[in-house]
A and B are shown apart, each in its own frame.
Chain A
Amino acid sequence: MIQKYIQSFNIFSEKEIQEAIPLFEYRKLEKYEFFAKEGRKCNELAFIESGIFHSFYSSLNGEEITLQISWENMMTSAYSSFITNKVSKENIQALTTSEIWVLKKNKIEELIEKQVNWSRFLRTLADEKYLEIEQRIFDSQLYSAKERYEDILVNCPSCLERVSLKYLASYLGVTQRHLSRIRKELATF
């Protein structure tokens, strides 16, 4: 799986991929266990083999706000902390028992010195992360909660069964009651 993921960047030679695979560490997280925590530095990237994660932070009045939900075959990280080496403002928590492959930043930095392609990897990753966060801006500004719910319905239908309503509602920026209404509306079609 990791191999496929690294290949999907279309950057590395077969030899580079074989050398990179052992650098990923396998880790299993229990439901509600944290991968990254507010106030701590995050110097790792996690490739999700199985499970679902949500990233969230607290607003000034203490409310938890879900930034992103990630599932199988996606990369998650407190990426802002990862690139700036500052403490993270966000938390990343497993919502189900999860298995991940972890790549540490210092391993990538060692590789960059030998192989230019790892610099390209980091740039491509930054580009992807940018597109993801920009999507989040569009989502919250231009699309309704219903449209975004439908988006998850298409891209990760099983997420809707595995993630509790509380977190889904927070991700969509609506109350749980509002979310129930959306679900009812869509169910009648």
Chain B
Amino acid sequence: MIASTTLASTMVPILSVWVLKDEHKKQEKADFIDHLKDALGDFIRFLMPMRVIIIPVYLLVTGVAVFTLYETIAKELFPSSGSAQFRVRISAPTGMRVEALEKRVLKTIEEIKAEAGAANVEKTLGYAGQQPAMFPISSAFLWTSGPQQAVLDVQLKEDSHIAMDSFKDRLRARLTRALPIQNFLLSPVTLSRRS
């Protein structure tokens, strides 16, 4: 919109002076478009004397409509599941030992408790590092790429009433500040959506 407005005020007049013909084509008889324009003109001329009434009525109707619709309409584009659970995938630089990763996972839990309030975190469940080959685990539910990656499931208290979307934004910023070289991927954890 910004570029097209600028172009309409700058390039279009210049091109018009260059390209448009000097004399305008005279139209012999009025066509459908002219009738349409005349009808619109007549309608506006009819409305203009009543503008003192029309404008306040319009403002009142739109104001009431906006207020009522705002109160009743759903405000979520992607409705959340209402779940107070989420998963944090922590990716440290490749090659980090699992002992060093473990410290960072514990630090992550501390940061989550600090952001949500320690009393609002019901439980956390995590796995740091790679699963042993003989460990009976389904990769669909728990997968890490190596000793540098950890997965942490967090359950907040149901009655904590934390707005999850904004909480995740705040948590993501907080974790990035606290542990700058790690990547954090926050995702919902429900039965149908696993990552």
Chains A and B belong together in one complex: no
Which positions in A face B, CB cutoff 8 Å?
none
Which positions in B face A, CB cutoff 8 Å?
none
